[in-house]
Structure 1
Amino acid sequence: MFVIEKIVEINASPEQVWKVITDLKSYPEWNPFMRECSTTFKPGAPIDMKVALFSKPQPQQEIVKEYIEGKLFSYTMKPVGGGTVLSSFRSHEVEAFPNGRTRYRSYFYLKGWLSPLVRTLLGSRLEKGFAGMTKGIQERAEKLAAQG
Structure 2
Amino acid sequence: MRQIRTEIHISATPEQVWAILVDFTAYPEWNPLTPGLRGEPVPGSRLTLPTALIPGISLTVPMRATVEEATPPRRLAWRSDVIAPGVASSLHDFELTPDEDGTHLLHRETVTGALAPMMWPMVSRFAPLFDRLNQKLKERAEAPR
When the two structures are superposed, what TM-score results if normalisation uses the length of structure 1? 0.87
Shift of 1:79: 6.2
8 A contact 2:15–2:72 mirrored in 1: no
Are 1:28 and 2:28 matched, yes or no? yes
> Aligned partner of 2:104: which letter?
R
Aligned partners of 1:12, 1:27: CA distance in 2, in Å?
Answer: 18
Secondary structure, in 3 states, of the residue corresponding to 2:41?
coil
Are 1:60 and 2:60 matched, yes or no? no
Question: What is the count of residue pairs matched by the alignment?
Answer: 142
Shift of 1:32: 1.1
Deviations 1:30-77 (A, max 9, x none): 111111112222211101111112331111110010111211111111
8 A contact 2:94–2:108 mirrored in 1: yes
From the two aligned structures, give the one with the greater helix fraction. 1
Q: Hey, what does 2:94 align to over in structure 1? A: 92
Shift of 1:93: 1.2
Secondary structure, in 3 states, of the residue corresponding to 1:82?
coil
Aligned partners of 2:50, 2:83: CA distance in 1, in Å?
Answer: 20
Counterparts of 1:35-74 in structure 2, within 5 Å, are 35-54=35-54, 55=57, 56-74=59-77
8 A contact 2:4–2:124 mirrored in 1: no
Q: Hey, what does 2:136 align to over in structure 1? A: 136
> Aligned partner of 2:114: which letter?
W
Q: Structure 1: 5+ residue runs without aligned partners?
A: none
Q: Hey, what does 1:13 align to over in structure 2? A: 13
8 A contact 2:45–2:67 mirrored in 1: yes
Q: Deviation above 6 Å: which 4+ runs of structure 1? A: none
8 A contact 1:94–1:102 mirrored in 2: yes
Aligned partners of 1:121, 1:32: CA distance in 2, in Å?
Answer: 17
Aligned partners of 2:14, 2:36: CA distance in 1, in Å?
Answer: 23
> Aligned partner of 2:70: which letter?
Y
Q: CA 1:29 to 1:81, structure 2 compared with 1: closer, same or farther past 3 Å?
A: closer
Q: CA 1:29 to 1:82, structure 2 compared with 1: closer, same or farther past 3 Å?
A: closer
When the two structures are superposed, what TM-score results if normalisation uses the length of structure 2? 0.89
What root-mean-square deviation, in Å, do the aligned CA atoms of Structure 1 and Structure 2 show? 1.6
